[in-house]
């Protein structure tokens, strides 16, 4: 593990721009080289061991100034379990807390019934916003982990600008008709240098396509009879109606954020994901593979959902634009 971390650190130091240059094309090249270098090291070593450190190392490496630029979507790095995806998010938040050296102010945008991250040892206040009063009431009475609970629409709720160190949103924006407005609000609510963590289904995958074209009632049946969620479709319980606004597509999302001073540092896929059991699992997987094949590979079957870790530019960087 030490050797892997050292190799990653060397790669980061080698390609990170440290001289404050205003040459945007050079800065973009450095970031792309950073991403590719880190991903290459991952592929040549133990994948499960090393991906857990990638988010933290990338975040730590960007303490130095990198010129603001519009970034392409970073390459997708596959993970091997939901625990690993959770750990990547936890590591990113912990690294951010260490860098700031003070308690964090965290916004969970679309908080639902439960908080999925174990941030024990990190001091923070947690604000939750959700449009569903039933889900929010369940969160308040069962989890009891919100310092502030707000019933509101992410597109219209009024929160102070630049008031959160971390904005976290997990499987929410696909359910928002005006996801671009909500995403713009996330950027405004985030402090300079703040961390944006998003988990989203990728709309332009085989599963994303199927989700968009299949009626909502079929989703409810799928949750109940394939995933075993008996409460599916009831008030406060998934699945919720999906809209899949174009802005949540991988390339467009990162471009949208980059134009507003938020850099997508890395993205992680769920290639391990298998839904259902026994024969049903084989059927679901077969349908996804067939959909991908019929699209001539344009709709990927390699993953369904993505984790994005992004950072808003600091005030110093903003002043140099």
CA within 13 Å, CB half, 7: 15
pLDDT of residue 45: 41
Which tokens go with 299? Answer: 């709709």
What percent of the chain has a predicted confidence (pLDDT) above 70?
75
Residue 240 has pLDDT above 90, yes or no: no
pLDDT tens per residue, range 94-127: 999 999 999 999 999 999 888 889 999 999 999 9
Task: Name which residue leads in pLDDT, 38 or 251.
Answer: 251
Question: How much is the mean pLDDT over the chain?
Answer: 80
Task: Name which residue leads in pLDDT, 208 or 261.
Answer: 261
As a whole number of angstroms, the distance between CA 304 and CA 296 comes to 17
Task: Name which residue leads in pLDDT, 294 or 239.
Answer: 294
String of DSSP letters for 163-185: -EEEEEEES-GGG-TTHHHHHHH
Q: How confident is the model at residue 41 (pLDDT cuts 50, 70, 90)?
A: very low
pLDDT of residue 208: 86
pLDDT of residue 46: 42
Task: Name which residue leads in pLDDT, 83 or 217.
Answer: 83
What pTM does this model have? 0.78
* Element at 318 (helix H, strand E): helix 315-319
pLDDT tens per residue, range 162-204: 999 999 999 999 999 999 999 999 999 999 999 999 999 998 8
What are residue 190's phi and psi, to 5 degrees? -80, 135
In the chain, DSSP finds a helix count (H) and a strand count (E) of: 11, 8
Task: Name which residue leads in pLDDT, 266 or 25.
Answer: 266
Domains parsed from the chain with CATH numbers: 1-67 (no CATH), 72-202+242-275+305-319 (3.40.50.150)
What is the residue whose two structure tokens read 């970034």?
71
Residue 152 has pLDDT above 70, yes or no: yes
Average pLDDT of the segment spanning 279-285:
80
Average pLDDT of the segment spanning 49-70:
47
Residue 70 has pLDDT above 60, yes or no: no
| Residue 299 and residue 204 in contact, taking contact as beta carbons nearer than 8 Å | yes
Report, in this order, helix, strand and coil percent for the chain, each rounded to 5: 45, 20, 35
pLDDT of residue 26: 42
pLDDT of residue 317: 52
pLDDT of residue 220: 84
Residue 1 has pLDDT above 70, yes or no: no
């Amino acid at each position: 593990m030490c050797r892997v971390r050292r190799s990653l650190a060397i790669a980061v130091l080698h390609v990170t721009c440290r001289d404050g240059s205003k040459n945007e094309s050079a800065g973009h090249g450095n970031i792309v080289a950073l991403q590719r270098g880190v991903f290459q090291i991952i592929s040549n070593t133990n994948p499960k061991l090393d991906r857990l450190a990638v988010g933290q190392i990338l975040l730590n490496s960007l303490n130095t100034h990198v010129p603001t630029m519009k970034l392409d979507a970073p390459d997708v790095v596959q993970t091997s379990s939901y625990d690993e995806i959770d750990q990547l998010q936890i590591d990113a938040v912990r690294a951010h807390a260490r860098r700031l050296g003070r308690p964090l102010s965290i916004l969970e945008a679309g908080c639902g019934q439960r908080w999925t991250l174990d941030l024990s040892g990190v001091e923070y206040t947690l604000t939750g916003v959700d449009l569903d009063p039933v889900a929010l009431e369940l969160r308040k009475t069962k989890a009891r982990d919100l310092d502030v609970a707000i019933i509101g629409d992410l597109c219209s709720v009024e929160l102070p600008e630049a008031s959160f160190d971390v904005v976290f949103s997990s499987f929410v924006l696909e359910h928002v008709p005006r996801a671009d407005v909500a995403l713009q609000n996330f950027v405004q609510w985030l402090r300079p240098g703040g961390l944006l963590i998003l988990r989203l289904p990728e709309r332009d995958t085989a599963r994303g396509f199927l989700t968009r074209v299949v009626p909502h009632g079929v989703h409810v049946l799928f949750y109940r009879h394939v995933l075993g969620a008996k409460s599916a479709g009831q008030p406060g319980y998934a699945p919720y109606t999906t809209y899949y606004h174009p802005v949540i597509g991988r390339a467009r999302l990162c471009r949208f954020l980059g134009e507003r001073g938020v850099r997508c540092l890395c993205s992680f896929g769920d290639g391990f994901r298998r839904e259902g059991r026994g024969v049903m699992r084989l059927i679901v997987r077969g349908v996804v593979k067939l959909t991908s094949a019929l699209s001539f590979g344009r709709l990927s079957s390699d993953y369904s959902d993505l984790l994005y870790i992004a950072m808003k530019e600091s005030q110093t960087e903003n002043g140099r634009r």
